[in-house]
Amino acid sequence: MKIKVAGSQRARMAGLIIGSFLVFAFIIAPSCSKKSKFPPPPETRQDNVKEVLHGVELVDPYRWLEDQQAPETREWIARQNAYTHSILDKLPGRDRLRQRLEELMRVESISVPIERNGRYFFTKRAADQDLPIIYMREGLDGEDQVLIDPHTLSPDHTISVQIREISAGGQILIYSKRRGGEDEVSLHLLDVDRRINLPDSLPRARYFGVSFVKSGDGFYYTRHGKEGSRVYFHRLGSKPSDDRKIFGDGYGPDKIIFSEVSEDGRHLLIHVLYGASADQTEIHYQNLARGGSIVPVVQNIPARFYGTIADGRLYVQTNWQAPKKRILSVRLNQLPQHPSRWREIVPESESIIEGFSLVGGKLFVNYLENVVSHIKIFTPDGQSDGEIELPAMGSVSGLAGHWQGNEAFFSYSSFLIPTTIYRYDVSSGQKSVWAKLQVPIDSEQFEVKQVWYTSKDSSRVPMFLVHKKGLELNGKNPTLLTGYGGFNISLKPGYSSLATIWVENGGVFARPSLRGGGEFGEEWHKAGMREKKQNVFDDFIAAAEWLIDNKYTNPEKLAISGGSNGGLLVGAALTQRPDLFKAVACFYPLLDMIRYHKFLVARFWIPEYGSSDDPEQFQYLLKYSPYHNVKPGTKYPSVIFITGDGDTRVAPLHARKMAALLQHATGSDNPVLLLYDTKAGHSGGMPVSKRIEDMTNWLSFLMWHVGM
């Protein structure tokens, strides 16, 4: 990119050039003249909006595309979609790919059940259905009874439903309706016995922490609005407009707040998360039985705390003075008391504590050891009480049950082992299969292994590889590299139809555990956030180089994909090392890191990325921001951006602007496409038919480019 500094700032900035880097914006040069086997993309007008931030002049050629509803933007989207389909619809092998995706994805699926008073609530989707239906069983082996069928709610199956909460007696179900992939939902209450909706519906908004009181005649919930998160109490039969606000005043929109009533109904916990990565968390407590006031339990400690209550004690998982986490406990009658005086129940170890559940009077602790799940059991005073045996290298999620109960349910899967839901009997220590996903694959012909490689700064990073047994290391294998690296999120080995279909076609599926994630504790997370975000991109690029150096593949056979924060990852990778990759799929991405925090709920992410409002953070954001590091004339790989109007989390403007910019600037013959959906979005909820259609589109694009 060309460098341009505001004239009045030149003298003052000149001294920074020697001995330091200088971060600048760009001016877009005309596209290189070139012949292409593809038709040219639609022309996109440039408005070249100029602004000066911290002494640096930025030129934004596609600022007008930020206005999502403007007629000119809508017309541009239509032209882009037409152009994209003019290429995608002609790709070879699409029918065969779609057919195999139908076989892999149109299978029965079922969720981990939630038990209330002998009733089991869960979602299930039959193989020939588009959306999960909410069911209930009377007793463990009872007949499946339909409670809410979302297929009747919209003709195009774009409205989905989700269980949000169930009263202790199992008589009232709170469920959400989601349109497309929006984050916003509406909440509805179902009288389970009479199968009728109660009038207590809450309008479309962002909701967190829906939790019934013990009697079932009311519930707490958090609604997030422009002013921030606020906790309310709704009494059944009353108008939502009359709901009483109980907590949240003074907290801005960058905080996430949720509440939870204890199993015995006597206590209320409120958590305040400082941003999406929650590097600082507050806990507040109220004794509901005595009607006491809400008091702070944890405040002003720069660490993560998550608590739950059972048997008169508060159990808290924290990374405070323990980067790999530990579990503390304190009696409720000793609150408020500083955490330094709490009892350590489960100490920090070499393995990461991912989470814990209180079931059957015991603590079930989910550990992550070298990115593989293990479940260990402890007594309330911290004594070891065994471990749940699991099949090979895989991951556990959703472990839940009741403190006063005797059963726990959890989900287990691995790359080539479809999801299995287990029921664990606490008293006998026996587990049994409650449900199993039946997928038509022959996992015996594949292998999964974990390798370690060295990143740019000599850090060692693990990576999972999936491929057919007996793979020839000839440097010619089509390889799909994907990752995330952010927000303390751990990418564990779970079942993936994407990995399955890729390796069935002779490819290698690779997923490194990048810094910024939570795979190795808080130090691993902090090594990939804010001013250290470049480490994440370096880890990803080093993974690509390792795959090439070890004869798995070569740049002409290497594709990459990533979504959301992973979209930022592949956006940075393609702008920093365009020579390494043949094709890129970039989903719902953040790409303009100078303006990202100005849209939707992106203020949640400032603790993770930083903000260009801060002069120092502006420097490192501009240095890697994909939108600001496109260099005209560079031979970029083939790219497909995927987003849609329904993404109300990451603004679709990122993909719109970046697609226009790359189309204009690339010096290669490779196509740059935008696949833009007017309904789908970030939060899922898409019907299976739509997911198959989208996956056929972008996966055929990648496969075609790497010669599969």
Q: Nearest 5°: CA angle at 49, between 43 and 55?
A: 140
Q: How confident is the model at residue 679 (pLDDT cuts 50, 70, 90)?
A: low
Inter-CA distances, 211 with 10, 66, 289, 623, 630, Å? 58, 37, 16, 44, 47
The residues that bridge with 528 in the sheet, in sequence order, are: none
Q: What is the mean pLDDT of the chain?
A: 92
> How much is the pLDDT for 14?
32
> How much is the pLDDT for 10?
32
Given a cut of 50, whether residue 688 has pLDDT beyond it is yes
- Give the residue from 152, 159, 147 showing the smallest Cα distance to 186: 159
SS (H, E, C) 1-17: CCCCCCHHHHHHHHCCC
Which runs of consecutive H residues, i.e. helices, occur in 60-152?
A: 71-88, 94-105
> How much is the pLDDT for 16?
29
Tokens of 251: 């907290």
**Are 82 and 73 within 8 A, CB to CB?**
no
Please tell me what DSSP assigns to residue 238.
S
Rounded to whole angstroms, the Cα distance separating 502 from 664 reads: 31
> How much is the pLDDT for 277?
81
CATH of domain 7-101+447-705: 3.40.50.1820
Q: Annotated catalytic sites, by residue?
A: 564, 682
Rounded to whole angstroms, the Cα distance separating 604 from 254 reads: 5
Span 678-705, average pLDDT: 84
Q: How confident is the model at residue 416 (pLDDT cuts 50, 70, 90)?
A: confident
Looking at the chain, the whole-number percentage of residues with pLDDT higher than 90 is: 89
> How much is the pLDDT for 557?
98
Span 95-123, average pLDDT: 96
Span 94-108, average pLDDT: 95
Dihedral class, residue 484 (left if φ above 0, else alpha if ψ from -120 to 50, else beta): alpha
> How much is the pLDDT for 684?
63
Q: How confident is the model at residue 99 (pLDDT cuts 50, 70, 90)?
A: very high
**Are 370 and 343 within 8 A, CB to CB?**
no
Rounded to whole angstroms, the Cα distance separating 519 from 539 reads: 14
106-115, 126-135, 179-188: which range is least confident on average?
179-188
The residue to which tokens 């709704």 are assigned: 234
Span 38-56, average pLDDT: 95
Rounded to whole angstroms, the Cα distance separating 244 from 464 reads: 49
Span 362-382, average pLDDT: 96
**Three-state DSSP class for 363?**
strand
Please tell me what DSSP assigns to residue 277.
T
> How much is the pLDDT for 680?
59
- Give the residue from 540, 531, 534, 539 showing the smallest Cα distance to 562: 540
Say which amino acid occupies 322.
Answer: A
For 440-491, write each residue's pLDDT tens digit: 999 899 999 999 999 999 999 999 999 999 999 999 999 999 999 999 999 9
Rounded to whole angstroms, the Cα distance separating 296 from 294 reads: 7
